[in-house]
Structure 1
Amino acid sequence: MSICFVCHESFSFFLLLFKKISRAELFDFHGNVQNFQARPDDILIATYPKAGTTWVSYILDLLYFGQTERQTSTPIFDRVAFLESTISPMGPGLTDDQTYIHTYILPRCYIPIIYVARNAKDNMVSYFHFDRMTRTQPEPGEWSSYIHRFMEGKMVFGSWYDHVNGWWKKKQTHSKLHYMFYEDLSEDTGREIDNLCSFLGLSRSDEEKKRVASGVQFDNMKKDDTTNYSTHCAMDFKISPFMRKGKVGDWKNHFTVAQSQQCDEDYEKKMKNSTLQFRTEI
């Protein structure tokens, strides 16, 4: 079986153009992966970047395969590969074990989808530090300008608002879509693992689920070279670790009062017609 990844039903977004330079460039791209052929037992993981992607990937990896040699010998980005990536060591496409695709159009397949959403402010902070330390992303610039670019949706994979709302709407008509929140997962990992097992029809003992919950705690994953991306050639850990803090509410250490208020006003305007609710602290 494979675990895959999807993002949004509209497909006008900014894609990375890799050249012989140290950083990628951004350009507008139109296309789709609707012809992607999923296998019957595949699973799609969908998130906006830096919203709990690796976290949920590792949870599912452990739930399906247990603590085996693959967890200690193979990096998470190979165990759960990105289908859209052109720089993955495994190359684009399905692997023998799991696949992790990151697209904007739902493939023509009806398989379980797990979507993970994170509040905008924490997501923004995490994305900023990720952009600082990886050559797979354009230069982030200064934090003050990055905030405006994030609010305007001029990001790789587009607007956070379109992303979280698009999948929230999709949930209303797609019975095999499980919508999760990063904040809930942080507050009670065991509860969210129970919910995942229920959604996927997995029968796992309480002991097995507790073992998974313990293994995927942030501090444990941050120290694990197979999950912390320390072996990935595009990451510069001298600038920032890939797994930095993982805390809900860390945005308070980055936003000024004025910046926070500006983001709140933008949020209220763009989310006024949505029933989607986020927590910025727990």
Structure 2
Amino acid sequence: MQEISDVTQRKLYLGALTDNRRWDMVNIRPDDVFVVTPPKCGTTWMQTIVALLFSGDPEVETELSVKMPWIDIRIREMSEVADRLDAMQHRRSMKSHTPMDGLPLDDHAHYICVFRHPLDAHFSYRKHVRNIPLPWFDMWYPEDDTDGITFRRFLDGGAEGFDTDAMPLAHILRHYEAAKALADRPNVTLFHYADMTRDLAGTIDRLAGLLGITHPAPVMEQLVQAATFDNMKDNAERFAPSGGKGFFKSDAEFFHSATSGKWRNKLTEAELAAYDDMMNAHMSPTDRTWLEYGSSVKAAA
């Protein structure tokens, strides 16, 4: 494999809140772990699992926003983030909502890409923006949406520019296409939210193997319990990004639900048909089935 680090070989993803050029200031280490996802696809869940595996401590204070920072977002000065990363003596992990074709690729660091049914991710994002005490997305996600603006923009938005931060379907599809194009690399692995939900213990065991981490069986059982949705929701101030700091109206609401099929009975037949048309135009049946339902197709029935 050839290392790709030159920014000219990467796509530019520049949104109102995010800027993937910030990655140019990150000095990648061979054992770094990157969690790369579209929003609301299990990012925090996977980051928490990584933190638990790194520490082997079910009571670890994850502090994801500081210890496993979201590099792309402009909220913190990148020079401060880069200095903090350089000062870390332990194994590091970072988060990105930038597709893989916009990230620096290292031959040895591991990239964990997580996906979820696009409609579940979309409806989870609707809840998410209502939980942020700032009107960042009111234009895309109006609270009183009797005209269906939100879903139209989900289908019509582009994968880049301002639309990037509002997570349209095109951005999710770009994420999947970019990750799949690199999936033959031994250090790029795709996970699915549905598989994590069906078999959390298996997910954690698989990830531990990929990252070369081993813990005794009783410890692994404790880590699995710590990573359950109920435990994370019950301890939301500990597990939510920037938990306890007022970043969200409710930390517990960040973990609204771990269910699938959120869109059922909420979209019109015309809206579902428009979604089907876009998915079928851009994806093979096999890729669509995996992106929507993971490794098991039982949920599609």
**2:210 corresponds to which residue?**
199
Contact 1:44 1:113 in 2 (8 A): yes
CA distance in structure 1 between the partners assigned to 2:44 and 2:135 by the alignment? 17
1:127 to 121, 125, 148: 125
**Candidates 74, 77, 85, aligned match of 2:65:** 77
- The one-letter code of the counterpart of 1:36 is V
**Following superposition of structure 1 onto structure 2, how do residues 180-191 of structure 1 map, counting pairs within 5 Å?**
180-191=191-202
Distance 1:57 1:30 in 2: 19
The answer for unaligned runs of 5 or more in structure 2 is 1-8, 294-298
Q: CA offset at residue 130 of structure 1?
A: 1.3
Q: Which runs of 5+ in 1 are unaligned?
A: 1-8, 18-25
* Contact 1:45/1:115 (<8 A) preserved: yes
Amino acid of the structure 2 residue aligned with 1:278: L
Q: Give 1:243 deviation, angstroms.
A: 1.3
Residue type matched to 2:50 in 1?
L
In the alignment of these two chains, the number of paired residues is 260
Matched, 1:36 2:26: yes
Structure 2 residue 55 is matched with structure 1 residue 65: yes
Contact persistence 1:37–1:109 (CA under 8 A): no
Give TM-score scaled by structure 1 length: 0.80
Q: Report Cα offsets for 1:26-76 as digits up to 9, x if no partner.
A: 9xx7857356321122111111111100000000101111227642xx633
Mapping 1:36-185, distance limit 5 Å: 36-67=26-57, 70-71=60-61, 75-88=63-76, 91-93=80-82, 94-95=84-85, 96=88, 98-102=92-96, 103-104=98-99, 105-110=102-107, 111-134=109-132, 135=134, 137-139=136-138, 140-141=141-142, 142=145, 144-152=148-156, 153=158, 154-156=163-165, 159-172=171-184, 174-185=185-196
- What letter corresponds to residue 130 of structure 2 in structure 1? R
Aligned twin of 1:3: none
Cα distance, 1:50–1:232 mapped onto 2, change above 3 Å:
farther
1:203-282 correspondence to structure 2 within 5 Å: 203-224=214-235, 225-229=237-241, 230-237=243-250, 241-252=253-264, 254-272=266-284, 275=287, 277-280=290-293, 281=299
Compute the TM-score of the two structures, normalised by the length of structure 2: 0.75
Structure 2 distance, partners of 1:76, 1:101, is 9
- SS of the residue corresponding to residue 29 of structure 2 reads coil
Shift in alpha-carbon separation, 1:88–1:232, aligned structure 2, 3 A: farther
Change (3 A) 1:205 1:251: farther
CA–CA distance in structure 2, aligned partners of residues 151 and 136 of structure 1: 21
What's the secondary structure of 2:15's corresponding residue?
A: strand
**3-state secondary structure, aligned to 2:81:** coil
Q: How far apart, in 2, do the equivalents of 1:66 and 1:45 lie?
A: 19
Structure 2 contact 183–190 (Cα < 8 Å) conserved: yes
Question: Does the C-alpha gap of structure 1 residues 40 and 46 become closer, same or farther in structure 2, counting only changes over 3 Å?
Answer: same
1:15 maps to what in 2? 15
Work out the CA distance in 1 between the residues paired with 2:135 and 2:225. 31
Deviation at 1:192, TM superposition (A): 0.9
Q: What is the distance in 1 between the residues matched to 2:285 and 2:56? A: 42
**d(CA) in 1 for partners of 2:43, 2:75:** 18
Secondary structure of the residue aligned to 2:247 is coil
Structure with the largest fraction of strand? 1
- Structure having the higher helix fraction is 2
Give the drift of 1:222.
1.0
For residues 220 and 77 of structure 2, the distance between their equivalents in structure 1, rounded to whole angstroms, comes to 31
Q: What percentage of aligned pairs have identical amino acids?
A: 21
Deviations 1:70-127 (A, max 9, x none): 42xx633223211223335995334325442424422142211111111111011111
Residues 35, 47 of structure 2: 8 Å contact kept: yes
Q: In structure 1, the residue corresponding to 2:103 is in which secondary structure?
A: coil
1:186 deviation in Å? 0.4
Considering only aligned residues, what root-mean-square deviation do their CA atoms show, in Å?
Answer: 3.0
